Protein backbone atom coordinates (compact mmCIF):
# COMPACT_ATOMS: atom_id res chain seq x y z
CA UNK A 1 0.00 0.00 0.00
CA UNK A 2 2.90 2.36 0.71
CA UNK A 3 4.21 1.73 -2.80
CA UNK A 4 0.82 2.80 -4.21
CA UNK A 5 0.90 6.02 -2.22
CA UNK A 6 4.42 6.77 -3.45
CA UNK A 7 3.42 6.04 -7.06
CA UNK A 8 0.42 8.34 -6.69
CA UNK A 9 2.54 11.13 -5.23
CA UNK A 10 5.14 10.73 -7.97
CA UNK A 11 2.46 10.88 -10.68
CA UNK A 12 0.94 14.03 -9.18
CA UNK A 13 4.39 15.62 -9.01
CA UNK A 14 5.04 14.83 -12.71
CA UNK A 15 1.72 16.43 -13.63
CA UNK A 16 2.43 19.52 -11.54
CA UNK A 17 5.92 19.91 -13.05
CA UNK A 18 4.56 19.55 -16.58
CA UNK A 19 6.54 16.37 -17.18
CA UNK A 20 3.35 14.38 -17.77
CA UNK A 21 -0.22 15.09 -18.78
CA UNK A 22 -3.58 13.42 -18.54
CA UNK A 23 -5.20 12.20 -21.74
CA UNK A 24 -8.22 14.42 -22.33
CA UNK A 25 -11.64 12.77 -22.64
CA UNK A 26 -12.01 14.31 -26.12
CA UNK A 27 -9.09 12.20 -27.35
CA UNK A 28 -10.39 9.02 -25.77
CA UNK A 29 -13.86 9.59 -27.19
CA UNK A 30 -12.53 10.19 -30.71
CA UNK A 31 -10.34 7.07 -30.51
CA UNK A 32 -13.38 4.99 -29.56
CA UNK A 33 -15.14 6.40 -32.63
CA UNK A 34 -12.34 4.96 -34.76
CA UNK A 35 -10.50 8.11 -35.78
CA UNK A 36 -6.81 7.90 -36.55
CA UNK A 37 -4.81 8.62 -33.38
CA UNK A 38 -2.25 10.68 -35.29
CA UNK A 39 -4.94 13.03 -36.59
CA UNK A 40 -6.54 13.32 -33.16
CA UNK A 41 -3.28 14.29 -31.43
CA UNK A 42 -2.22 16.59 -34.28
CA UNK A 43 -5.50 18.47 -34.12
CA UNK A 44 -5.42 18.52 -30.31
CA UNK A 45 -1.97 20.16 -30.51
CA UNK A 46 -3.43 22.60 -33.08
CA UNK A 47 -0.98 21.70 -35.84
CA UNK A 48 -1.58 21.37 -39.56
CA UNK A 49 -0.13 18.41 -41.42
CA UNK A 50 2.48 20.75 -42.90
CA UNK A 51 3.48 22.10 -39.48
CA UNK A 52 3.77 18.57 -38.09
CA UNK A 53 5.83 17.52 -41.11
CA UNK A 54 8.31 20.34 -40.52
CA UNK A 55 8.46 19.73 -36.80
CA UNK A 56 8.87 15.95 -37.07
CA UNK A 57 10.86 15.75 -40.32
CA UNK A 58 8.29 13.23 -41.62
CA UNK A 59 6.77 14.01 -45.02
CA UNK A 60 3.33 15.56 -45.15
CA UNK A 61 2.32 12.89 -47.67
CA UNK A 62 3.16 10.13 -45.18
CA UNK A 63 1.29 11.93 -42.41
CA UNK A 64 -1.77 12.19 -44.65
CA UNK A 65 -1.50 8.51 -45.62
CA UNK A 66 -1.25 7.46 -41.96
CA UNK A 67 -4.21 9.63 -40.99
CA UNK A 68 -6.35 8.08 -43.74
CA UNK A 69 -5.08 4.61 -42.80
CA UNK A 70 -3.59 4.00 -46.26
CA UNK A 71 -0.12 3.43 -44.76
CA UNK A 72 1.12 2.38 -41.35
CA UNK A 73 4.52 4.09 -41.17
CA UNK A 74 7.76 2.77 -39.71
CA UNK A 75 8.70 2.75 -36.06
CA UNK A 76 11.23 5.48 -36.82
CA UNK A 77 8.50 7.68 -38.29
CA UNK A 78 6.23 7.02 -35.31
CA UNK A 79 8.99 8.01 -32.91
CA UNK A 80 9.60 11.29 -34.76
CA UNK A 81 5.89 12.05 -34.83
CA UNK A 82 5.50 11.19 -31.15
CA UNK A 83 8.39 13.44 -30.18
CA UNK A 84 6.97 16.31 -32.24
CA UNK A 85 3.54 15.88 -30.64
CA UNK A 86 4.99 15.32 -27.15
CA UNK A 87 3.24 11.99 -26.78
CA UNK A 88 4.51 8.40 -26.62
CA UNK A 89 4.74 7.01 -30.13
CA UNK A 90 2.87 3.91 -28.95
CA UNK A 91 -0.25 6.05 -28.47
CA UNK A 92 -0.14 7.05 -32.12
CA UNK A 93 0.37 3.64 -33.69
Say what the pTM is: 0.80
Q: Tell me the average pLDDT across 28-52.
A: 96
pLDDT tens track for 50-77: 999 999 999 999 999 999 999 999 999 9
Domain boundaries, the chain: 2-91
DSSP calls for 19-35? S--PPPHHHHHHHHTT-
Share in percent of the chain as helix, strand, coil (round to 5):
65, 0, 35
Contact 53, 43 (CB under 8 A): no
* pLDDT score of 10: 87
pLDDT higher than threshold 90 for residue 78: yes
The fold for domain 2-91 equals 434 Repressor (Amino-terminal Domain) (1.10.260)
Amino acid sequence: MLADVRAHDAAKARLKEGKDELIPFEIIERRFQGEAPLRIWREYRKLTQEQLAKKSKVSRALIAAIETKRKTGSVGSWKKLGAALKVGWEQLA
